[in-house]
Amino acid sequence: MDTARLSAGQGDIVCLVRSREAMLAYTTSAMLPIDLAVIGIVEAVDVQEGLSLVL
């Protein structure tokens, strides 16, 4: 999978990390000043019967 071509837009659900984990999401050895990183794009959400999901 070519991750350079993946992108999320307005209304998409994404997985985020912040703080030190956001910096670790990048493959560089430099200590970059990163506050928030998108680490995944949600393709589908399954909700159990009787539960609800509010977005």
What does the DSSP 8-state code read for residue 37?
A: E
- pLDDT tens digit sequence for 6-54: 688 888 889 888 887 787 777 666 777 888 888 888 888 888 888 877 7
pLDDT bracket for residue 4 (50, 70, 90): low
Please give the pLDDT value at position 30.
73
Burial 44-53 (b: 16+ CB within 10 A, else e): eeeeeeeeee
Please give the pLDDT value at position 3.
54
- Kindly report the pTM of this predicted structure: 0.58
Rounded to whole angstroms, how far apart are CA atoms 36 and 50?
A: 33
Burial 3-29 (b: 16+ CB within 10 A, else e): eeeeeeeeeeeeeebeeeebbeeeeee
Residue 20 parent element (H or E): helix 20-24
